Amino acid sequence: MGQPQYQVTDPATGEVVRTYPFASDADVEAALRRATDAFEPWRDRPIEERVQITRRVAALFTERAEELAALIETEMGKARVEGLGETQFCTDIFTYYADHGPDLIVPRPVPGHPTARIEYRAQGPIVGVMPWNYPYYQVARFAAPNLIVGNTMVLKHAENCPTSALAIADIMRDAGVPDGVYENLFATHEQVAAIIADRRTRGVSLTGSERAGSAVAAEAGRNLKKVVLELGGSDPYIVLDTDDPDAAAETAWTFRIENVGQACNANKRMIVMADVYDDFVAALARRAAAMTPRRPGSRGGPGEYSPMVSRRAAELLLAQVRDAVDKGATVHAGGTLLDGPGAYFEPTVLTGVTPQMRAFHEELFGPVAVVYRVDSDDEAVRLANAVDFGLGASVWSADRARAEAVASRLDAGMVNVNTPSSEAADIPFGGTKRSGFGRELGPLGIEEFVNKRLFYVQP
């Protein structure tokens, strides 16, 4: 199950700051009962009122940004400046669904049948199982569309992020979300399985690891529940050509080091053409070697790296890097876990990775950039598609037609040309293969947990 309770452990120091007990079975039953009882009144409430409340949620994320950012700095090590950016993204997401959600679920006519329409109807209590790497953003993209649709939610957050989970629950309450519409539970894994199996819940959304996704999908399947999964990624970042390898490396490194590399859709595999490769690797290595640990009190800057989420996570990353090096890979910078109780892993540039190494097949969830050398567009595509993940991808070239041709051949849920990522509140997010299925955000995100009901009147 992991740690024996919900617990805040500062990854900069290893200090246990605060603990919370797991929910009792009685707590779980009470939350399910409230969510069930609240559903029909919330669904039937005028959508204009749900929109107004959702706007207030958006405003409170902005009003409380400093407090919220401070909480996750202690919980999972995120630099204050990145935490503030995350809270702003939450405001954007709730605002987007308040602005556009009602139009996205307006009944649609069925072409050729003037008396038929497709309605988008709320379904009931939906279970959310959330991760630690973006404690607010991940909740926002789950909660915002469900508020507008009229579903109620039972949410289980990551066990190392209880204070941010409580802060979100406070925002919901203070914004006017009725009791039972948003239920936060410090549930165990066994209790989550029971909640998914309970006949009162109608679906489940999980963001997390492949292992967690497999377990949740199996439980949902056994109980015939709709499931959305956003799992791991090992996104290819293909550099076909550039007149400025140093600038190209700057863009690639800035994206890779965001959240200390702990992002599902980070550019974990950089695939670079041979004529650019040496200069690109050297430029990456200079940037990695120049970074220094961000110590408590610093809000974070481009030359600093934060601790990873935990010492254990850093040790797992170190084992992956050592496996690669032992089998012939080359470390150009970094590769060391700093001594002490903290979770500071030196930003790392790794080359020479082969299919015999863990680093080729596994997600490297931390500040490690793996760079591959290729000699043709076809080789780049084969390498990009060689892993079981399929979350995002990006292709770079001064010749946009060439980049688009390569990008069109990639097996991924999100493909970008000449930009690292197209993340925005109105852009759908999700993957394929072992990166999961379903979509969040944008017009697709609001459709996942609705009954697309046919309403037909005989002419």
Residues acting as catalytic residues: 230, 264
Q: Which helix (H) or strand (E) holds 269?
A: strand 269-273
371 with 270: CB under 8 angstroms?
yes
CA geometry: angle 183, 65, 423, nearest 5 deg:
80
381 with 410: CB under 8 angstroms?
yes
Strands (E), 53-173: 108-110, 113-122, 125-129, 152-156
459 with 115: CB under 8 angstroms?
yes
Q: Give the relative orientation of helices 245-256 and 274-290 as an angle to the nearest 10 degrees.
A: 50
Whole-number Å distance between alpha carbons of 100 and 439: 17
CA dihedral 45, 51, 55, 57 (to 10 degrees): 40
Core vs surface per residue 301-340: b (16+ CB within 10 A) or e = eeebbbbbbbbebbeebbebbeebbeeebebbbbbebeee
Could you give the C-alpha distances from 331 to 342, 349, 369, 370, in angstroms and in order? 22, 6, 10, 10
Neighbouring residues of 134: CB distance < 8 A, sequence distance ≥ 6: 86, 259, 263
Whole-number Å distance between alpha carbons of 167 and 198: 27
